[in-house]
Amino acid sequence: MKIAEKTVVQMHYTLTSDEGETIDSSAGREPLQYIQGTHMIVVGLEKAMEGHEVGDKFDVKVIPREGYGEYDERLTQEVPLDVFQGVDKVVPGMQFFAQTPAGPMPIRIKSVAGDKATIDANHELAGKNLNFAIEVVSVREATEEELNPQGHCCCGGEGDCKCGDGECECGGEGNKENCDGNGGCGCPNHDKHHGNG
């Protein structure tokens, strides 16, 4: 069976930067599973997966526009350090969740100078090419339940699971069974899998 819309795909992947640094990999773990056509993975990779079948191994370069977006300087701002409650020391690279009208938004500390920090709401891979090495492990038709989940919930990333506490970003009550505890998401309706767009 070839990968097409409404198929459940399992794949192993290694993601590297243009400099050859490994950013993420499924090596030594269970393969990543997603439903084709539901934007659970970045759009550029989803397009490249179309038509492949079990056993295929191939490389994909996803440009920023079809990955995590272009880097936007407007998403950075300077804030006083005292807004970070309960943290002994704020250092570059730290990640927090800011409460916004649209819900929790991940932000990173870009730099610290004196009593102020520059925060960055861009995805950490915004503006970067994504180089994937892919191996297709399995392909099957999605079930009706998988295509129309009830009560599925998304996690906040970095192991911060919001499932079951009524803060489901995708709607519904939340269900811990759909969360892998590592930022994984069991909800096909979550746009591009944890804000990948």
Compute the average pLDDT of residues 71-91. Answer: 91
Reported as a single tens digit per residue, the pLDDT across 114-170 is 999 999 999 999 999 999 999 999 999 999 999 887 654 544 444 444 444 444 444
Domain annotation covers residue 80: yes
User: pLDDT grade, residue 87 (50/70/90)?
Assistant: confident
Number of domains in the chain: 3
Choice among 2-6, 35-39, 184-188 with the minimum mean pLDDT: 184-188
State the DSSP string of 135-197: EEEEEEEPPHHHHS-SS-----STT---TTTT--TTSSS--GGG--SSS----TTSTTTTT--
Give yes or no: residues 14 and 48 share one domain.
yes
Compute the average pLDDT of residues 101-116. Answer: 90
The three-point CA angle 193-44-145 to 5° equals 40
Give yes or no: residues 17 and 95 share one domain.
no
Domain annotation covers residue 194: no
Domain residues for 180?
149-186
- Reported pTM: 0.68
Compute the average pLDDT of residues 184-188. Answer: 44
Residue holding tokens 């439903």? 35
104 and 156 Cβ atoms separated by less than 8 Å: yes
Give yes or no: residues 176 and 132 share one domain.
no
User: pLDDT grade, residue 100 (50/70/90)?
Assistant: confident
Give yes or no: residues 4 and 65 share one domain.
yes
Domain annotation covers residue 193: no
Domain annotation covers residue 41: yes
